[in-house]
Amino acid sequence: MLVLPKGVRHIPGFLNRPRQEKLVEAVRAVVAEAPLYVPEMPKTGKPMSVRMTNCGSLGWVTDRERGYRYQAEHPVTGRPWPPLPDMLLEIWRAVSGSDKTPEACLVNFYSADARMGLHQDRDERDLETAVVSISLGDSCLFRVGGKTRGGQTVSFRLESGDVVVLGGEGRLAFHGVDRIYPNTSTLLKNGGRLNLTLRRVNP
Ligand SMILES: O=C(O)CCC(=O)C(=O)O
Ligand SMILES: [Fe+2]
């Protein structure tokens, strides 16, 4: 049995296939309004391998000059982010354990060779409310550890429809995506993996 760090909850198969399809439709509508863009690492300007967009009143963005932050507008179009689809709010209510509403949903798209290095989600002013993460499409190898870099980590697969909650003691757990397993899902017509993370930004 895999033991997850305290406060880290993995809910396999939270969304059945019809719900996954409905959510993909909602994400397609978001991306049509707020296109995926290539985020840059702070200072170096190195492009990340994932492509990103957001929905909600705030979105997480990063570029060379201004680094990691939340803002109300898409960095390329300058337009406000599209609203959070109702289904995301439903999922949030079901698993977050919070009465607050999320302001931001970061949408990450991983092609076959994309990954995400170990990091903490700590750009929110609210570091108590849980972060809720939803996986769609190809599977990935997810890694999660404790609150300090360099500590012990555990790895497991996230499949389409799985939800991960980083709450309580797990809110600041280091986590990342080591690899994508291409062609492991038929959900997205052109393959790849979508990850949606719901975040409360303001306390
Ligand atoms: O893709 C994932 O499962 C994790 C994404 C993530 O950690 C993030 O966007 O902060
Ligand atoms: Fe994260």
Q: Which residues contact 64 (CB under 8 A, 6 or more apart)?
A: 40, 41, 42, 43, 44, 45
In order of 73, 82, 86, 107, the CA distances from 33 in angstroms are: 12, 7, 17, 13
* pLDDT per residue rounded down to tens, the chain (203 residues): 899 999 999 999 999 999 999 999 999 999 999 999 999 999 999 999 999 999 999 999 999 999 999 999 999 999 999 999 999 999 999 999 999 999 999 999 999 999 999 999 999 999 999 999 999 999 999 999 999 999 999 999 999 999 999 999 999 999 999 999 999 999 999 999 999 999 999 99
Q: Are 126 and 98 in contact (CB under 8 A)?
A: no
The complex's ipTM? Answer: 0.99
C-beta of 171 in contact with ligand 1 (< 6 A): no
Distance CA 27, CA 201 (A): 21
- Strands 193-199 and 104-110, by their bridges, are antiparallel
C-beta of 175 in contact with ligand 1 (< 6 A): yes
Distance CA 17, CA 15 (A): 7
Please tell me the distance between residue 176's alpha carbon and the centre of ligand 1 in angstroms: 6
C-beta of 106 in contact with ligand 1 (< 6 A): yes
Closest CA relative to residue 138, chosen from 99, 177, 110, 176: 110
